[in-house]
Structure 1
Amino acid sequence: MTKDEQTRLAPHPVLPDYYGKAEDRRTRVDEMFDSSAEHYDWITDVMSFGSGRMYRRQALLRAGIKAGDKVLDVGAGTGVVSWLAQQIVGEEGLVVALDPSKGMLSQAVKLGVEHTSMGLGEALPFPDDTFDYLTMGFALRHVADLGAAFAEYQRVLKPGGKILLLEITRPEGKIATAFLKFYLKIIIPNLAKIFRRSADSKVLMRYYWDTIEQCVPPATIVEALKATGLEQSKRAVVLSIFSEYTGIKPARV
């Protein structure tokens, strides 16, 4: 193991069912998302019983996003969070959807997202002190290095700007975890294959659960936020499985 591998804080270990080594992860993940992009919103709507967009909108409002704000949505995928934020900030504001998958961003454009950019969270193509908010909806498990990503997130925020990271987290109880695993790893992938006729989507949704199951503990994520200098870093829990991580960039004195 190299020194870089020892210091990197990956959100989960290598998952050999999908790729053999850490450096292969990015290419494989991009392939899965590109090939499943046209099916992704249908799958997630079914998975959340149609409530996913309402929850995302409420989370954005809880975080304090308002008209006129400038928002960067990292790991935007098909652009649902970006599109909702776009409605909140209005014409006076700005929302940019960033994602490494061309296929996912093409779906975001179809949804109505006005500004998109291809890129990685660990190397954001924006100047320092640009955005009021940085959001990430259920994509934290797909970055390579939490520390590097959080440092970049803080860099592009204006002083006093806020991070909002939405994630699904394993429930604390064994029974609840077993139920969620059966639902997300067995039922949802098979529904994707049957109704969307997409074997690739089935693989992606199985990967989706495996990254949840193997993800580092919430306390590790909060500590990583604090380690980059973000103030008031914390986690709020909604409905036992939804984690809302927040942190604020220090204001300059």
Structure 2
Amino acid sequence: MNDLPPHPPLDQYYRHASDRDDFVRALFDRGAPAYDQVNALCSFGSGARYRRAALQRSGLKPGQRVLDVAIGTGLVAREAVRILGRPQDVIGVDLSAGMLREAGASLPIPLIQARAEAIPLADSSIDLLSMGYALRHVPDLTGTFREFRRVLRPGGSVLLLEIDHPRSRAGGAALRFYLGSVVPAVSRLLGGGQEAQMMMRYFWDTIDACVPPAAIEGALSEAGFTSVSCDVQLGIFRAYRARR
């Protein structure tokens, strides 16, 4: 089974695919303190409401156990806690220690520093696995999805939130200008400095180079998931869902 990177190596940031983890970890460690503020620029007003609705549409309800992979500062996990009512039912995993510190400052949930493709949890121990806008940072989609399937209970669900190019050429140009130029520049001016500017520039470049949605859905199927689907809102926000 061949690996499927979410995008080719980005030479302007690192030379080889093997350097990706170290680069991403350092980038998000440095940018973590400014992440919530600059992330609001990318949500177009959807933010918490969109994340909560996406979790609810995935069937999340009290009594279940959630794993939020690449938790970042906890934006998706926070909405999961609101739905479940019990912080101990949500676990957060992230490669970046800086992001975990930010998440832990506001969320009293278990936090683990680990890679998405090597989750230190038991087989069949999670009801719903979520990942918000971080799929582009793993080294191999199919291998990562196999690991997601391993930790999910039979009947469990995966929810992957991502940003994609709009269909129209004009919409694509507008998104490129906004996420590729405006957001990085404003992120720096808002106090995030050069670290936040680079983080958000990398954010856009990974979106721009990402494999198409059909490849992501195909990787989910190849990893053994069923009922693979994808909802699209505002032409750019994608919610991939699948079931073990």
Q: Which residue in the other structure is 1:184 paired with?
A: 179
Code of the residue aligned with 1:213 in structure 2: it is D
Which among 107, 116, 122 is matched to residue 121 of structure 1?
116
Distance 1:14 1:38 in 2: 26
Code of the residue aligned with 1:12 in structure 2: it is H
SS in 1 for 2:62: coil
Task: Write out aligned runs for 1:141-156 (5 A).
Answer: 141-156=136-151
Residue 17 (structure 2) pairs with residue 18 (structure 1): no
- Asked whether the 8 Å contact 1:185–1:206 carries over to 2, the reply is yes
Distance 1:237 1:47 in 2: 16
Distance 1:109 1:219 in 2: 35
Worse-superposed segment, 40-49 or 162-171: 40-49
Deviation at 1:209, TM superposition (A): 0.5
SS in 1 for 2:90: strand
Deviations 1:159-198 (A, max 9, x none): 0000000000111111101100100011010011111141
Task: Write out aligned runs for 1:203-222 (5 A).
Answer: 203-222=198-217
Q: 1:127 to 1:46 in 2, by over 3 A?
A: same
Residue 164 (structure 2) pairs with residue 169 (structure 1): yes
Instruction: For structure 2, list consecutive stretches of 5 or more residues without a partner in the other structure.
Output: none
Distance 1:71 1:135 in 2: 7
**Percent of aligned positions with the same letter in both sequences?**
43
- Asked whether the 8 Å contact 1:232–1:247 carries over to 2, the reply is yes
Deviation at 1:49, TM superposition (A): 4.4
SS in 2 for 1:14: coil
Q: Which residue in the other structure is 1:109 paired with?
A: 104
Task: Write out aligned runs for 1:185-200 (5 A).
Answer: 185-200=180-195
User: What is the aligned length?
Assistant: 244
SS in 1 for 2:162: strand
Distance 1:19 1:113 in 2: 35
Which among 219, 225, 234 is matched to residue 224 of structure 1?
219
Deviation at 1:50, TM superposition (A): 4.3
Q: TM-score, normalised by structure 2?
A: 0.97
Deviation at 1:225, TM superposition (A): 0.4
- Asked whether the 8 Å contact 1:67–1:93 carries over to 2, the reply is no
SS in 2 for 1:7: coil
Code of the residue aligned with 1:32 in structure 2: it is L
Q: Which residue in the other structure is 2:47 paired with?
A: 52
Distance 1:31 1:163 in 2: 27
Instruction: For structure 1, list consecutive stretches of 5 or more residues without a partner in the other structure.
Output: 1-5
Deviation at 1:91, TM superposition (A): 2.5
Deviations 1:65-85 (A, max 9, x none): 011110000011111111110
Which among 9, 21, 24 is matched to residue 29 of structure 1?
24
Runs of 4+ in 1 over 6 A off after TM superposition: none
Deviation at 1:47, TM superposition (A): 2.8
Q: 1:13 to 1:59 in 2, by over 3 A?
A: same
Which among 127, 131, 139 is matched to residue 134 of structure 2?
139
- Asked whether the 8 Å contact 1:53–1:80 carries over to 2, the reply is yes
